Amino acid sequence: MKIHFDKLYKDDRNSELCGIGIPFAKGEVTASEFESICIMDGEKAMPSQFKITSKWNDGSIRYVFARFLANLPGNADKDFELEFSGKKADINENVTISEDGDCICVSNGNLSFKVKNNTKNVFEELTYEGRKYAKDEFSGPVLSAYGEKYETIFDRFRVVEKSEIFSCLEADGRFIEEKNKLTGEGIRFTFRIYVTAGKPWIECAVRLFNCTDADFKPDSLLFEIKTSSDDKNDKIRTMVAKSNYRTNFTSSDDGSDVSLKITAEMLEKEANEHFAEVFYGTFFADRTNFSSGVGICATVYQAQQNYPKAVKAGRDGISVFLIPDQNEMEKESKSEPVIFSSGMAREQKFLLHFHSADLDTYEINNRSLIYQMPDVGIISPEVFEKAGVMPDIFLPEDKKVDDYEISLIDKADNHVRCYGMLNWGDGPDPGYTSQGRGGGRLVWTNNEYDYPHAMYMMYARSGIRRFLDYANVAAMHWMDVDVCHYSKDELQIGGQWEHINGHTGGSKDGNGCAGVLACSHEWVEGLLDYYHFSGDERALETALGIGDNVLKLLDTPMFKTPGEANARETGWALRSLTALFLETGDAKWTKKCSWIVSQFESWNDKYGHWLAPYTDNTTIRVGFMISVAVGSLMRYYRVFPSDELKKMIIGAIDDLVENQMTPYGLFYYKELPSLSRNGNNPLLLEAMAIAYELTGNDEYLEKGIKTFRKHMASSGFSLGQKKIIEDSVIVGVGAPKAFAQGFLPLAYFYTQLVKANKLLSQ
């Protein structure tokens, strides 16, 4: 299997840490064969580590996440090969971890550090190139709110991932305040430390959790590298920098304070042509001590995208403001402050690069830029198609239609980008907002229709790197902001918020959030994808939590009577639960799936069709909701086929064709005179393609051809104009949910059209 790297940077990168999710077909790779896996650079094995993230039900490997150290050339692309030859790489420097009681010691051959449970400091000690840093030289995360600086407590460190080339530690922590203004469990955090063999840098990640019963507005969130008292008279250079096209530096050779801040107004006025999920620029502070011969550079990851941010370097050290002083910013900015609703979380990351004092500024900046846009390996769409881990959306190159491929790419690129710490990775829906569903405020989609899953499928189908970046950014936001991490209400814990203002509707005083959790708006497939493509086990944990929340909601009175809820409620639930069964093989998901299928059967028997309550005295057909149910039942059918289920699916689709089409070849919206306008929902195309897959009758494809062509008429791509709205800088138009809703139906229907040779005959 080939792993391809596109040409990226002009300089060589040696032993660059790379990660990639790799799928395998059922039965292709056994557990014993997995032990012989390796990544080759010609005849040389690369230092690598592999983690099984999913298995098929026969025990064979479904997904592996690989990390390896790659030698990449400047101004050229390069291919590596994944083999099962069992060859081992020579590792000159490696990560070692030892645990002794409350302490964990880590070394990577270049730097070393010790962490300890139940302490106020992240490091007990850290050593780089003979320079020892004491524990009080690192301060943070430091949280301030309501005019008080909270005490930071690291309760417990644990090893999350352990290997010779890459390891991860995580601490659970909490902030203690004296004025007793916080309710519930207060404000908690996790602190992750990522270490790579032989590298003079570590990545840190602070994830803040609002475990109170009300909204929480931080004054600031800070991480500092302080100087020891004996080096304040040394020769010091301080430097801060940010980039857009080129990096702009502000520096002082006498150690004077230099600082930078990212505000909404700066972003609004700054021209930037990049797809910002892939790259915007960089943002760092550096302090170099020429007397001791050592410097430290702190780079904030995607700082512009996650504004507000600030950095400062001075004789006293480096300050990284993951949230700058919001009281000061409110005086000078139109942007609203960062406010965490009850149950909300958000992670921010930064790189600490230790370097020799004589390292050229170009190299300091170069590492900072690479951190913002790392090298990413790509495997071909043919690998995904062969593995069978994605739906039937793949076409050989000679069968693709250029205009339709261009249209799908434009649809993937055409979505709003929303800068802002709590908004990056999501987008508001203009329709919901204009309808007043947010009470005059933006209604955030909260990754409705599973935007990450649609984008991961687009990446797998196309092999285009930026679609992987789009998906990753959205998934990271989703598992932090759009999921309830704390609540007094058991029906909220672990669930995904339905689209609403402020992502959660804001907190109700002492009663958690005002938002709604509903089976029709809880997805898991994109989170499972993110786990496979990133190796981050928290995505799997989040997906399982959403699944548990769905099970709890399905036990509420709303679902006791078939037909009392519309078809998408249990339809989306079935989709999520089936995906969790495929991922885990746990029978608890299939037990509820069987119950949902029986509900559809009872519903069908009761009304003759899947009619949904609408007004007090009507039950109507809602085509796109029925299509959600059909798509979900089909996913279940592919795992547990039966003639009865096939008959029910076809019957529902036949009812749509007979009763929900206009004379002009389009489906209409809903079955009432006041709602029977021309429909534009692509979900009905998925239903038509399913009918063709089950019957081979191409008349179903003919029913959808006009809807398909209407959707595939490309409007091109435009970034649009930046505007400051609420706590976000918004650029472009189009809710992410449009692509989330439309990609699979369009790509699947398109694939079936090609198989039926219908593209040329229409």
CA distance 404 to 468: 20
Angle between helices 643-659 and 683-695 (to 10 degrees): 130
Checking if the pLDDT of 575 tops 60, the result is yes
pLDDT of residue 643: 97
Position 212 scores a pLDDT of 96
pLDDT of residue 146: 93
Burial 692-706 (b: 16+ CB within 10 A, else e): bbbeeebebbbbbbb
DSSP state for residue 559 in the 8-state scheme: G
pLDDT of residue 562: 63
State residue 614's pLDDT score.
87
Tens digit of each residue's pLDDT (9 = 90 or more) over 385-411: 999 999 999 999 999 999 999 999 999
Length of the chain: 762
Cis peptide leading into residue 23 (ω within 30°): no
Q: How far is the C-alpha of 525 from the C-alpha of 102, rounded, in Å?
A: 38
- What does the DSSP 8-state code read for residue 524? -
CATH architecture for segment(s) 561-713: Alpha/alpha barrel (1.50)
- For 96-372, CATH number? 2.70.98.10
Considering only CA atoms, which of 436, 449, 406 is closest in space to residue 738?
449
- State phi, psi for 125 to the nearest 5 degrees: -165, 160
Supply 717's token pair. Answer: 């791509």
SS (H, E, C) 327-364: HHHHHHCCCCCCCECCCCEEEEEEEEEEEECCCCHHHH
Mean pLDDT to the nearest integer, 595-618: 86
User: What are the structure tokens assigned to 683, written together?
Assistant: 């979900």
What pLDDT, on a 0 to 100 scale, did the predictor assign at position 566?
A: 57
What confidence category does residue 508 fall into, taking pLDDT thresholds of 50, 70 and 90? confident
Q: What's the rounded mean pLDDT across residues 249-258?
A: 97
Report, in angstroms and rounded to the nearest whole number, the Rg of the chain calculated over CA atoms: 27
- Spatial distance between the Cα atoms of 170 and 190, rounded to a whole number of angstroms: 7
Q: What are phi and psi of 655, to 5 degrees?
A: -65, -40
Task: Phi first, then psi: give them for residue 523, nearest 5 degrees.
Answer: -120, 160
Return d(Cα 714, Cα 709) in angstroms, integer.
10
Residues 278/373, Cβ–Cβ less than 8 Å = yes
Cα separation, 480 vs 496, in Å, equals 10
Instruction: For residue 592, report the phi and psi dihedrals to the nearest 5 degrees.
Output: -75, -30
Q: What is the pTM of this model?
A: 0.97
- 66-78 exposure pattern, b = at least 16 Cβ within 10 A, e = fewer: bbbbbebeeeeeb
- Residue 662's contacts (CB-CB under 8 Å, 6 or more residues apart) are 668, 678
pLDDT in tens, 129-138: 999 999 999 9
- Give residue 639's pLDDT: 95
pLDDT in tens, 346-383: 999 999 999 999 999 999 999 999 999 999 999 999 99
Does 726 have pLDDT greater than 70? yes
Q: Could you tell me which of 234, 248, 242 has the C-alpha nearest to residue 293?
A: 234
| Burial (Cβ within 10 Å: 0-12, 13-18, ≥19) of residue 576 | buried
Pairing between strand 417-419 and 283-289? unpaired
Q: Give the pLDDT band (50/70/90) at residue 762.
A: very low
Nearest one of 657, 677, 656, 563 to 614, comparing CA atoms: 563
Q: Return the beta strands (E) in 463-582 as ranges.
A: 500-501
State which H helix or E strand residue 205 sits in: strand 201-211
How many angstroms separate the CA atoms of 157 and 65, rounded?
24
- Residue keyed to tokens 């799908």: 408
Q: Which residues pair with 65 in a beta bridge?
A: 21, 51
In angstroms, rounded to a whole number, what is the distance separating the alpha carbons of residues 213 and 159?
31
Confidence of residue 711 (pLDDT cuts 50, 70, 90): very high
Name the more confident of 81 and 229.
81
Helices (H), 482-566: 525-534, 537-554
Model confidence pLDDT, tens digit, residues 41-57: 999 999 999 999 999 99
The confidence score (pLDDT) of residue 560 equals: 76
- What's at 117, amino acid-wise? N
**pLDDT tens column, 157-204:** 999 999 999 999 999 999 999 988 889 999 999 999 999 999 999 999
Distance in angstroms (rounded) separating the CA atoms of residues 21 and 540: 14
Closest-CA residue to 358 (of 452, 205, 235, 450): 235
Inform me whether the pLDDT recorded for 680 exceeds 90. no
* Extended beta strands in 519-672, E state: 612-613, 619-620
Please, are residues 227 and 288 in contact by the beta-carbon 8 Å criterion?
no
Q: Give residue 476's identity as a one-letter amino acid code.
A: M
Mean pLDDT of the chain: 94
d(CA 683, CA 676) in angstroms, rounded, equals: 17
Compute the distance between CA of residue 6 and CA of residue 425 in angstroms, rounded to an integer: 25
Residue type, 721: Q
Crossing angle (nearest 10°) for helices 736-755 and 683-695: 30
Both tokens of residue 29?
A: 């790779």
Q: Which residue is it, tokens 């400091």?
A: 121
What lies within 8 Å, CB to CB, of 477 at 6+ separation is: 423, 424, 425, 426, 447
Q: Is the CB of residue 323 less than 8 Å from the CB of residue 338?
A: yes
Residue spans per domain, the chain? 2-83, 96-372, 381-555+720-762, 561-713
Residue 120 has a CB neighbour count (10 Å cut-off) of 13
CA neighbours closer than 13 Å in the CB half-sphere of residue 503:
33
Residue 375 has what pLDDT?
98
Q: Determine how β-strand 500-501 pairs with β-strand 345-356.
A: unpaired
Q: Are strands 103-107 and 96-100 parallel, antiparallel or unpaired?
A: antiparallel
pLDDT at residue 544 in the model? 98
CA distance 719 to 740: 19
- Tell me whether strands 111-116 and 125-128 are parallel, antiparallel or unpaired: antiparallel
